[in-house]
Structure 1
Amino acid sequence: MSKIFALVPAAGCGSRMGSELPKQYMLLAGHPMIYHALVTLCASPEIDTVFVVLSPDDAYWLSYDWSPLGDKLQPLFCGGATRAESVLNGLIAAELERDDWLLVHDAARPCLSHKQLARLIEALRDDDVGGILAVPVADTLKRADAECRIVQTEDREGVWQAQTPQMFRTGLLLQALQIAPNVTDDASAVESLGFHPKLVTSSSSNFKVTYPQDVELAELLLGVRK
Protein backbone atom coordinates (compact mmCIF):
# COMPACT_ATOMS: atom_id res chain seq x y z
CA MET A 1 0.00 0.00 0.00
CA SER A 2 1.08 3.56 -0.66
CA LYS A 3 2.40 5.46 2.34
CA ILE A 4 1.42 8.98 3.32
CA PHE A 5 4.05 11.61 4.09
CA ALA A 6 3.89 15.30 4.98
CA LEU A 7 6.23 18.10 3.96
CA VAL A 8 6.38 21.60 5.44
CA PRO A 9 8.40 24.17 3.44
CA ALA A 10 9.97 26.52 5.98
CA ALA A 11 12.90 28.21 4.27
CA GLY A 12 11.33 31.65 3.91
CA CYS A 13 11.68 34.79 6.00
CA GLY A 14 8.05 35.97 6.17
CA SER A 15 8.88 39.59 5.35
CA ARG A 16 5.26 40.80 5.57
CA MET A 17 5.28 40.15 9.31
CA GLY A 18 7.81 42.95 9.78
CA SER A 19 10.08 40.87 12.01
CA GLU A 20 13.79 40.06 11.77
CA LEU A 21 13.03 36.55 13.04
CA PRO A 22 11.74 34.24 10.28
CA LYS A 23 7.97 33.95 10.63
CA GLN A 24 8.00 30.21 11.26
CA TYR A 25 10.02 30.78 14.44
CA MET A 26 7.99 33.66 15.87
CA LEU A 27 6.49 32.75 19.22
CA LEU A 28 2.82 31.83 19.07
CA ALA A 29 1.05 30.55 22.18
CA GLY A 30 4.41 29.78 23.78
CA HIS A 31 5.98 27.89 20.87
CA PRO A 32 7.52 28.71 17.49
CA MET A 33 4.71 29.15 14.97
CA ILE A 34 5.75 26.09 12.96
CA TYR A 35 5.49 23.91 16.06
CA HIS A 36 1.68 23.97 16.04
CA ALA A 37 1.38 22.70 12.47
CA LEU A 38 3.98 20.02 13.15
CA VAL A 39 2.14 18.82 16.26
CA THR A 40 -1.00 18.14 14.24
CA LEU A 41 0.85 16.42 11.39
CA CYS A 42 3.01 14.28 13.67
CA ALA A 43 -0.02 13.18 15.69
CA SER A 44 -1.80 11.73 12.65
CA PRO A 45 -1.67 7.92 12.65
CA GLU A 46 -1.95 8.04 8.85
CA ILE A 47 1.29 9.96 8.29
CA ASP A 48 4.56 8.04 8.19
CA THR A 49 7.12 10.88 8.28
CA VAL A 50 6.91 14.68 8.48
CA PHE A 51 9.66 16.42 6.52
CA VAL A 52 10.54 20.05 7.27
CA VAL A 53 12.39 21.80 4.45
CA LEU A 54 14.70 24.44 5.90
CA SER A 55 17.18 26.88 4.45
CA PRO A 56 20.71 25.39 4.13
CA ASP A 57 21.95 28.14 6.44
CA ASP A 58 19.06 28.00 8.93
CA ALA A 59 20.43 29.23 12.26
CA TYR A 60 17.34 28.62 14.40
CA TRP A 61 16.06 25.05 14.05
CA LEU A 62 18.67 23.37 16.23
CA SER A 63 18.15 25.87 19.05
CA TYR A 64 14.66 24.46 19.82
CA ASP A 65 13.65 21.19 21.43
CA TRP A 66 11.51 19.24 18.97
CA SER A 67 11.63 15.95 20.89
CA PRO A 68 8.02 16.25 22.18
CA LEU A 69 6.86 15.73 18.58
CA GLY A 70 8.27 12.21 18.50
CA ASP A 71 10.40 10.42 15.93
CA LYS A 72 8.33 11.20 12.81
CA LEU A 73 10.01 14.57 12.32
CA GLN A 74 12.85 14.83 9.80
CA PRO A 75 14.47 18.18 8.88
CA LEU A 76 15.91 18.64 5.40
CA PHE A 77 18.30 21.56 4.95
CA CYS A 78 17.71 22.03 1.24
CA GLY A 79 15.25 24.92 0.96
CA GLY A 80 15.18 27.11 -2.11
CA ALA A 81 14.48 30.73 -2.98
CA THR A 82 10.74 30.12 -3.41
CA ARG A 83 8.10 27.91 -1.84
CA ALA A 84 7.83 25.79 -4.99
CA GLU A 85 11.60 25.33 -5.14
CA SER A 86 11.69 24.27 -1.48
CA VAL A 87 8.94 21.70 -2.05
CA LEU A 88 10.72 20.36 -5.14
CA ASN A 89 14.07 20.16 -3.35
CA GLY A 90 12.41 18.42 -0.41
CA LEU A 91 10.73 15.91 -2.70
CA ILE A 92 14.03 15.05 -4.32
CA ALA A 93 15.87 14.79 -0.99
CA ALA A 94 13.18 12.63 0.64
CA GLU A 95 13.50 9.95 -2.08
CA LEU A 96 9.91 8.71 -1.78
CA GLU A 97 8.16 6.17 -3.98
CA ARG A 98 6.27 7.73 -6.89
CA ASP A 99 2.93 6.28 -5.73
CA ASP A 100 3.28 7.59 -2.17
CA TRP A 101 1.05 10.45 -1.09
CA LEU A 102 2.55 13.76 0.00
CA LEU A 103 0.71 16.40 2.00
CA VAL A 104 2.33 19.82 1.67
CA HIS A 105 1.38 22.19 4.47
CA ASP A 106 2.25 25.82 5.19
CA ALA A 107 4.30 26.46 8.31
CA ALA A 108 2.20 29.61 8.80
CA ARG A 109 -1.10 27.70 9.13
CA PRO A 110 -0.82 26.79 12.83
CA CYS A 111 -4.54 26.20 13.39
CA LEU A 112 -4.95 23.11 11.21
CA SER A 113 -7.12 20.73 13.21
CA HIS A 114 -6.91 16.95 13.48
CA LYS A 115 -10.44 16.78 12.06
CA GLN A 116 -9.56 18.85 8.98
CA LEU A 117 -6.47 16.75 8.33
CA ALA A 118 -8.35 13.46 8.69
CA ARG A 119 -11.13 14.71 6.38
CA LEU A 120 -8.62 15.56 3.66
CA ILE A 121 -6.90 12.19 3.81
CA GLU A 122 -10.16 10.27 3.83
CA ALA A 123 -11.52 12.23 0.86
CA LEU A 124 -8.43 11.76 -1.29
CA ARG A 125 -6.80 8.45 -0.43
CA ASP A 126 -8.56 6.76 -3.38
CA ASP A 127 -8.67 9.79 -5.69
CA ASP A 128 -7.00 9.63 -9.09
CA VAL A 129 -5.53 13.13 -8.86
CA GLY A 130 -5.45 14.43 -5.29
CA GLY A 131 -6.65 17.75 -3.97
CA ILE A 132 -6.58 20.47 -1.34
CA LEU A 133 -8.37 21.87 1.66
CA ALA A 134 -10.31 25.00 0.66
CA VAL A 135 -13.27 27.17 1.59
CA PRO A 136 -15.88 28.79 -0.70
CA VAL A 137 -15.42 32.54 -0.91
CA ALA A 138 -18.18 34.25 1.06
CA ASP A 139 -17.22 37.92 0.78
CA THR A 140 -17.88 40.21 -2.17
CA LEU A 141 -14.74 40.47 -4.32
CA LYS A 142 -13.53 43.80 -5.68
CA ARG A 143 -10.81 44.32 -8.30
CA ALA A 144 -8.75 47.48 -7.70
CA ASP A 145 -6.55 49.69 -9.83
CA ALA A 146 -3.12 51.05 -8.93
CA GLU A 147 -4.73 53.81 -6.84
CA CYS A 148 -6.81 51.35 -4.80
CA ARG A 149 -10.06 52.38 -6.46
CA ILE A 150 -12.61 49.75 -7.41
CA VAL A 151 -12.48 48.80 -11.07
CA GLN A 152 -15.20 46.16 -10.92
CA THR A 153 -16.93 43.60 -8.73
CA GLU A 154 -15.87 40.03 -9.44
CA ASP A 155 -18.28 37.13 -9.66
CA ARG A 156 -17.62 34.86 -6.66
CA GLU A 157 -19.77 31.99 -7.94
CA GLY A 158 -17.69 28.83 -7.81
CA VAL A 159 -14.66 30.65 -6.36
CA TRP A 160 -12.79 28.96 -3.51
CA GLN A 161 -9.92 30.09 -1.29
CA ALA A 162 -7.10 27.55 -1.36
CA GLN A 163 -5.59 26.29 1.88
CA THR A 164 -3.15 23.57 2.85
CA PRO A 165 -2.43 20.72 3.23
CA GLN A 166 -2.45 19.94 -0.47
CA MET A 167 -2.27 16.21 -1.14
CA PHE A 168 -0.85 14.62 -4.29
CA ARG A 169 1.04 11.54 -5.40
CA THR A 170 4.77 12.14 -5.13
CA GLY A 171 5.47 11.30 -8.76
CA LEU A 172 2.76 13.59 -10.09
CA LEU A 173 3.81 16.50 -7.89
CA LEU A 174 7.47 16.07 -8.76
CA GLN A 175 6.66 16.18 -12.47
CA ALA A 176 4.34 19.17 -12.03
CA LEU A 177 6.84 21.29 -10.08
CA GLN A 178 9.58 20.59 -12.60
CA ILE A 179 7.35 21.86 -15.40
CA ALA A 180 5.78 24.78 -13.48
CA PRO A 181 8.43 26.06 -11.04
CA ASN A 182 6.93 29.51 -10.45
CA VAL A 183 3.55 28.57 -8.96
CA THR A 184 2.40 29.77 -5.54
CA ASP A 185 0.78 26.49 -4.53
CA ASP A 186 1.11 22.82 -5.44
CA ALA A 187 -2.36 22.52 -6.94
CA SER A 188 -1.47 25.16 -9.54
CA ALA A 189 1.48 23.05 -10.66
CA VAL A 190 -0.72 19.97 -10.99
CA GLU A 191 -3.31 22.01 -12.89
CA SER A 192 -0.61 22.99 -15.39
CA LEU A 193 -0.44 19.33 -16.42
CA GLY A 194 -4.16 19.38 -17.26
CA PHE A 195 -5.42 17.72 -14.07
CA HIS A 196 -8.29 18.95 -11.91
CA PRO A 197 -7.54 18.58 -8.18
CA LYS A 198 -10.46 18.02 -5.81
CA LEU A 199 -11.63 20.69 -3.37
CA VAL A 200 -12.21 19.34 0.14
CA THR A 201 -14.27 21.70 2.31
CA SER A 202 -12.31 23.14 5.22
CA SER A 203 -12.89 25.99 7.66
CA SER A 204 -11.76 29.60 7.80
CA SER A 205 -10.02 28.70 11.08
CA ASN A 206 -7.24 27.12 8.98
CA PHE A 207 -6.04 30.53 7.87
CA LYS A 208 -2.51 31.63 7.01
CA VAL A 209 -0.80 33.92 9.50
CA THR A 210 0.52 36.65 7.22
CA TYR A 211 0.30 40.00 9.01
CA PRO A 212 0.97 40.99 12.66
CA GLN A 213 -2.75 41.32 13.39
CA ASP A 214 -3.24 37.63 12.49
CA VAL A 215 -1.18 36.49 15.48
CA GLU A 216 -3.80 37.43 18.07
CA LEU A 217 -6.54 35.51 16.27
CA ALA A 218 -4.33 32.44 15.90
CA GLU A 219 -3.50 32.49 19.62
CA LEU A 220 -7.19 32.74 20.48
CA LEU A 221 -8.03 29.72 18.30
CA LEU A 222 -5.17 27.67 19.67
CA GLY A 223 -6.19 28.57 23.23
CA VAL A 224 -9.75 27.34 22.65
CA ARG A 225 -8.43 23.93 21.53
CA LYS A 226 -6.42 23.34 24.71
Structure 2
Amino acid sequence: MSSSLIDTWLVLPAAGIGSRMQADRPKQYLSMTVKGVTKTVIEFTLDHLLSYPYFKHSNIASAGFYKAIVVVTKGDPYWQEISTARGYDKHERILVVYGGSERCYSVLNALIAISQFENSEKKKDSDPSWVAVHDVARPCLSYHDLDALFSAVEDYPDGGILAAPVRDTMKRGGITESTSMTKSKVCSVIDHTVNREQLWHALTPQMFPLNSLLDNLQVALADGFEVTDEASAMEYGGAKPKLVDGRSDNLKITRPEDLTLAEFYLNNF
Protein backbone atom coordinates (compact mmCIF):
# COMPACT_ATOMS: atom_id res chain seq x y z
CA MET A 1 0.00 0.00 0.00
CA SER A 2 1.34 3.38 -0.97
CA SER A 3 2.13 5.80 1.84
CA SER A 4 -0.31 8.21 0.17
CA LEU A 5 -3.17 5.97 1.31
CA ILE A 6 -2.09 5.54 4.93
CA ASP A 7 -4.79 7.84 6.25
CA THR A 8 -8.04 7.30 4.39
CA TRP A 9 -11.15 8.82 5.90
CA LEU A 10 -14.58 7.29 5.44
CA VAL A 11 -17.48 9.69 4.83
CA LEU A 12 -21.04 8.40 5.28
CA PRO A 13 -23.67 10.95 4.24
CA ALA A 14 -26.76 10.11 6.33
CA ALA A 15 -28.80 13.31 6.30
CA GLY A 16 -31.29 12.29 3.61
CA ILE A 17 -34.94 11.49 4.19
CA GLY A 18 -35.32 8.68 1.62
CA SER A 19 -38.83 9.65 0.51
CA ARG A 20 -39.09 6.87 -2.09
CA MET A 21 -39.06 4.27 0.71
CA GLN A 22 -42.53 5.47 1.80
CA ALA A 23 -41.57 4.70 5.40
CA ASP A 24 -42.15 6.48 8.70
CA ARG A 25 -38.45 7.30 9.02
CA PRO A 26 -35.38 7.83 6.81
CA LYS A 27 -34.24 4.61 5.14
CA GLN A 28 -30.94 4.50 7.01
CA TYR A 29 -32.90 3.92 10.22
CA LEU A 30 -35.01 1.03 8.95
CA SER A 31 -34.24 -2.34 10.54
CA MET A 32 -32.83 -5.47 8.94
CA THR A 33 -32.24 -8.90 10.43
CA VAL A 34 -29.06 -10.60 9.29
CA LYS A 35 -27.99 -13.97 10.66
CA GLY A 36 -30.16 -13.48 13.72
CA VAL A 37 -28.97 -9.93 14.46
CA THR A 38 -31.39 -7.01 14.04
CA LYS A 39 -29.93 -3.55 13.47
CA THR A 40 -30.66 -0.51 11.38
CA VAL A 41 -29.17 -0.02 7.92
CA ILE A 42 -26.76 2.63 9.15
CA GLU A 43 -25.49 0.33 11.90
CA PHE A 44 -24.83 -2.52 9.48
CA THR A 45 -22.97 -0.20 7.11
CA LEU A 46 -20.94 1.60 9.77
CA ASP A 47 -20.04 -1.53 11.76
CA HIS A 48 -19.03 -3.38 8.60
CA LEU A 49 -16.75 -0.63 7.33
CA LEU A 50 -15.14 0.11 10.67
CA SER A 51 -14.28 -3.59 10.87
CA TYR A 52 -12.43 -3.43 7.56
CA PRO A 53 -8.78 -4.01 8.55
CA TYR A 54 -7.00 -0.86 9.65
CA PHE A 55 -3.28 -0.96 10.36
CA LYS A 56 -1.70 2.49 10.49
CA HIS A 57 1.63 2.93 8.72
CA SER A 58 1.70 -0.55 7.21
CA ASN A 59 2.35 -1.81 3.72
CA ILE A 60 -0.38 -4.44 3.53
CA ALA A 61 -2.90 -4.42 0.69
CA SER A 62 -5.85 -3.49 2.92
CA ALA A 63 -5.10 -0.35 4.90
CA GLY A 64 -8.65 0.23 6.09
CA PHE A 65 -10.15 3.51 7.22
CA TYR A 66 -8.52 5.91 9.64
CA LYS A 67 -11.72 7.52 10.96
CA ALA A 68 -15.36 7.72 9.90
CA ILE A 69 -17.33 10.93 9.46
CA VAL A 70 -21.07 10.34 9.84
CA VAL A 71 -23.05 13.23 8.36
CA VAL A 72 -26.51 13.61 9.92
CA THR A 73 -29.23 16.22 10.17
CA LYS A 74 -28.82 18.46 13.19
CA GLY A 75 -31.02 17.19 16.02
CA ASP A 76 -31.69 13.87 14.28
CA PRO A 77 -33.50 11.87 17.02
CA TYR A 78 -32.91 8.48 15.39
CA TRP A 79 -29.14 8.97 15.23
CA GLN A 80 -29.01 10.33 18.76
CA GLU A 81 -30.80 7.24 20.09
CA ILE A 82 -28.63 4.79 18.16
CA SER A 83 -25.42 6.67 18.90
CA THR A 84 -26.05 6.59 22.63
CA ALA A 85 -27.23 2.98 22.71
CA ARG A 86 -24.32 1.66 20.62
CA GLY A 87 -21.63 3.91 22.07
CA TYR A 88 -20.92 5.61 18.75
CA ASP A 89 -20.90 8.94 20.58
CA LYS A 90 -17.81 7.78 22.48
CA HIS A 91 -16.12 5.86 19.66
CA GLU A 92 -12.63 7.22 19.01
CA ARG A 93 -12.87 6.57 15.26
CA ILE A 94 -16.31 8.15 14.70
CA LEU A 95 -16.88 11.88 14.24
CA VAL A 96 -20.25 13.50 13.52
CA VAL A 97 -20.84 16.42 11.17
CA TYR A 98 -24.14 18.11 10.36
CA GLY A 99 -25.43 17.81 6.83
CA GLY A 100 -26.45 20.41 4.26
CA SER A 101 -29.51 20.95 2.10
CA GLU A 102 -28.33 18.36 -0.45
CA ARG A 103 -25.95 15.41 -0.41
CA CYS A 104 -23.16 17.36 -2.12
CA TYR A 105 -23.24 19.98 0.65
CA SER A 106 -23.23 17.27 3.31
CA VAL A 107 -20.09 15.82 1.75
CA LEU A 108 -18.58 19.30 1.54
CA ASN A 109 -19.23 19.84 5.26
CA ALA A 110 -17.49 16.55 6.00
CA LEU A 111 -14.45 17.41 3.88
CA ILE A 112 -14.11 20.81 5.54
CA ALA A 113 -14.33 19.17 8.97
CA ILE A 114 -11.63 16.66 8.03
CA SER A 115 -9.37 19.41 6.71
CA GLN A 116 -9.82 21.43 9.90
CA PHE A 117 -9.16 18.36 12.05
CA GLU A 118 -5.98 17.57 10.19
CA ASN A 119 -4.73 21.14 10.33
CA SER A 120 -5.09 21.09 14.10
CA GLU A 121 -3.99 17.52 14.81
CA LYS A 122 -1.58 16.31 12.16
CA LYS A 123 2.07 17.16 11.62
CA LYS A 124 2.81 19.33 8.63
CA ASP A 125 5.13 16.72 7.13
CA SER A 126 2.55 13.92 7.26
CA ASP A 127 1.36 12.18 4.11
CA PRO A 128 -1.67 13.64 2.31
CA SER A 129 -4.93 12.03 3.33
CA TRP A 130 -7.51 10.39 1.13
CA VAL A 131 -11.26 10.21 1.54
CA ALA A 132 -13.75 7.50 0.55
CA VAL A 133 -17.40 8.59 0.31
CA HIS A 134 -19.89 5.75 0.65
CA ASP A 135 -23.68 5.72 0.50
CA VAL A 136 -24.92 4.77 3.96
CA ALA A 137 -27.77 2.87 2.28
CA ARG A 138 -25.30 0.44 0.67
CA PRO A 139 -24.73 -2.09 3.46
CA CYS A 140 -23.71 -4.94 1.11
CA LEU A 141 -20.26 -3.66 0.18
CA SER A 142 -17.72 -6.47 0.08
CA TYR A 143 -14.21 -6.29 1.47
CA HIS A 144 -12.98 -7.77 -1.83
CA ASP A 145 -14.28 -4.72 -3.67
CA LEU A 146 -12.69 -2.43 -1.10
CA ASP A 147 -9.36 -4.19 -1.60
CA ALA A 148 -9.71 -3.71 -5.36
CA LEU A 149 -10.51 -0.01 -5.00
CA PHE A 150 -7.61 0.67 -2.62
CA SER A 151 -5.27 -1.17 -4.98
CA ALA A 152 -6.56 0.60 -8.10
CA VAL A 153 -6.05 4.14 -6.81
CA GLU A 154 -2.62 3.45 -5.35
CA ASP A 155 -0.35 6.21 -6.61
CA TYR A 156 -3.10 7.42 -8.97
CA PRO A 157 -3.87 11.04 -8.08
CA ASP A 158 -7.24 11.21 -9.86
CA GLY A 159 -8.71 8.53 -7.60
CA GLY A 160 -11.44 6.11 -8.59
CA ILE A 161 -14.87 4.67 -7.94
CA LEU A 162 -16.50 1.29 -7.75
CA ALA A 163 -18.77 0.79 -10.74
CA ALA A 164 -20.65 -1.97 -12.51
CA PRO A 165 -20.79 -2.35 -16.30
CA VAL A 166 -24.29 -1.92 -17.70
CA ARG A 167 -25.72 -5.27 -18.80
CA ASP A 168 -29.25 -4.34 -19.79
CA THR A 169 -30.38 -2.60 -22.96
CA MET A 170 -30.55 1.09 -22.10
CA LYS A 171 -33.28 3.43 -23.36
CA ARG A 172 -33.29 7.22 -23.43
CA GLY A 173 -36.79 8.39 -22.60
CA GLY A 174 -38.83 11.30 -23.77
CA ILE A 175 -42.09 12.95 -22.75
CA THR A 176 -45.19 12.98 -24.89
CA GLU A 177 -48.89 13.67 -24.45
CA SER A 178 -51.17 10.69 -24.85
CA THR A 179 -54.74 11.57 -25.83
CA SER A 180 -57.78 9.29 -25.70
CA MET A 181 -61.46 10.00 -26.24
CA THR A 182 -61.94 10.84 -22.56
CA LYS A 183 -58.69 12.37 -21.36
CA SER A 184 -55.11 13.26 -22.13
CA LYS A 185 -52.06 12.70 -20.01
CA VAL A 186 -48.31 13.12 -20.15
CA CYS A 187 -46.36 9.87 -20.33
CA SER A 188 -42.82 8.63 -20.92
CA VAL A 189 -41.90 7.01 -24.22
CA ILE A 190 -38.69 5.66 -25.75
CA ASP A 191 -36.72 8.32 -27.59
CA HIS A 192 -33.84 6.05 -28.60
CA THR A 193 -31.67 3.14 -27.51
CA VAL A 194 -28.36 4.06 -25.86
CA ASN A 195 -25.16 2.25 -26.79
CA ARG A 196 -24.17 0.45 -23.58
CA GLU A 197 -20.51 -0.08 -24.54
CA GLN A 198 -18.36 1.49 -21.80
CA LEU A 199 -21.53 2.52 -19.94
CA TRP A 200 -21.25 1.98 -16.19
CA HIS A 201 -23.44 2.21 -13.10
CA ALA A 202 -21.61 4.43 -10.60
CA LEU A 203 -21.40 2.78 -7.17
CA THR A 204 -19.65 3.73 -3.96
CA PRO A 205 -17.22 4.11 -2.31
CA GLN A 206 -15.70 6.86 -4.43
CA MET A 207 -12.13 7.51 -3.30
CA PHE A 208 -10.00 10.61 -3.91
CA PRO A 209 -7.21 12.65 -2.34
CA LEU A 210 -8.84 14.85 0.28
CA ASN A 211 -7.48 18.18 -0.94
CA SER A 212 -8.29 17.49 -4.58
CA LEU A 213 -11.86 16.49 -3.84
CA LEU A 214 -12.39 19.45 -1.53
CA ASP A 215 -11.02 21.95 -4.05
CA ASN A 216 -12.90 20.50 -7.02
CA LEU A 217 -16.18 20.23 -5.13
CA GLN A 218 -15.98 23.84 -3.94
CA VAL A 219 -15.24 25.09 -7.47
CA ALA A 220 -18.03 23.02 -9.03
CA LEU A 221 -20.62 24.21 -6.53
CA ALA A 222 -19.48 27.84 -6.82
CA ASP A 223 -19.89 27.59 -10.60
CA GLY A 224 -23.41 26.20 -10.24
CA PHE A 225 -22.44 22.83 -11.71
CA GLU A 226 -24.86 20.01 -10.85
CA VAL A 227 -22.78 17.67 -8.68
CA THR A 228 -24.42 14.24 -8.79
CA ASP A 229 -21.58 12.38 -7.09
CA GLU A 230 -18.01 13.02 -5.98
CA ALA A 231 -16.59 11.76 -9.27
CA SER A 232 -18.61 14.35 -11.20
CA ALA A 233 -16.94 17.12 -9.18
CA MET A 234 -13.52 15.64 -9.94
CA GLU A 235 -14.44 15.32 -13.63
CA TYR A 236 -15.52 18.97 -13.66
CA GLY A 237 -12.02 19.85 -12.52
CA GLY A 238 -10.44 17.84 -15.34
CA ALA A 239 -9.66 14.61 -13.49
CA LYS A 240 -10.23 11.15 -14.97
CA PRO A 241 -11.08 8.84 -12.05
CA LYS A 242 -10.59 5.11 -12.53
CA LEU A 243 -13.57 2.79 -12.94
CA VAL A 244 -13.09 -0.24 -10.70
CA ASP A 245 -15.34 -3.19 -11.53
CA GLY A 246 -17.48 -3.85 -8.46
CA ARG A 247 -20.08 -6.42 -7.49
CA SER A 248 -23.63 -5.76 -8.65
CA ASP A 249 -25.00 -6.79 -5.23
CA ASN A 250 -23.56 -3.56 -3.81
CA LEU A 251 -27.08 -2.20 -4.13
CA LYS A 252 -28.40 1.08 -2.79
CA ILE A 253 -31.56 0.73 -0.70
CA THR A 254 -33.97 3.13 -2.37
CA ARG A 255 -37.31 1.39 -2.66
CA PRO A 256 -39.14 -0.92 -0.21
CA GLU A 257 -38.20 -4.08 -2.10
CA ASP A 258 -34.49 -3.17 -1.86
CA LEU A 259 -34.52 -3.67 1.90
CA THR A 260 -35.64 -7.29 1.52
CA LEU A 261 -33.05 -7.86 -1.20
CA ALA A 262 -30.26 -6.39 0.95
CA GLU A 263 -31.25 -8.70 3.80
CA PHE A 264 -31.10 -11.65 1.40
CA TYR A 265 -27.62 -10.72 0.16
CA LEU A 266 -26.24 -10.13 3.66
CA ASN A 267 -27.67 -13.39 4.96
CA ASN A 268 -25.92 -15.24 2.15
CA PHE A 269 -22.53 -13.52 2.20
State the TM-score, normalized to the length of structure 2. 0.79
- Give ranges in structure 1 of 5+ residues lacking alignment: none
**Structure 1 residue corresponding to 2:133, chosen from 74, 84, 104:** 104
Structure 1 counterpart of 2:256, one-letter code: P
**Secondary structure, aligned partner of 1:110:** coil
| Residues 1:205 and 2:249 aligned together | yes
Contact 1:140 1:154 in 2 (8 A): yes
Alignment check: 8 A CA contact 1:135 1:161 kept: yes
The answer to whether structure 1 residue 5 and structure 2 residue 9 are counterparts is yes
Match of 2:59 in 1: none
Q: Look at both structures and tell me which one has the larger radius of gyration over its CA atoms.
A: 2
| 2:39 paired residue number | 31
Residue 66 of structure 2: aligned partner: 48
TM-score with structure 1 length normalisation? 0.93
CA distance in 1, matches of 2:42, 2:266: 13
- Given that residues 97 and 109 in structure 2 are in contact (C-alpha distance below 8 angstroms), is that contact kept between their aligned partners in structure 1? no
Secondary structure (helix, strand or coil) at the match of 1:149 reads strand
CA separation in 2, counterparts of 1:50 and 1:68?
11
State how far apart, in whole Å, the 2-side matches of 1:114 and 1:39 are: 13
Moved more, 54-63 or 131-140: 54-63
The answer on 1:22 being equivalent to 2:30 is no
Unaligned runs of 5+ in 2: 55-63, 120-126, 176-186
Distance 1:88 1:108, change over 3 A: same
Matches within 5 A, 1:92-171: 92-94=112-114, 95=116, 96=118, 99-146=128-175, 147-171=187-211
Report sequence identity in percent.
Answer: 42
- Aligned alpha-carbon RMSD (Å): 1.9
Say if 2:88 and 2:94, in contact at 8 Å, map to a contact too: no
- 2:89 and 2:136 map into 1 onto residues whose CA distance is 15
Q: Is the 8 A contact 1:33 1:107 kept in 2?
A: yes
Give the stretch that moved more between structures: 26-35 or 151-160. Answer: 26-35
Report the alpha carbon displacement of residue 75 of structure 1 after superposing the two structures with TM.
3.5
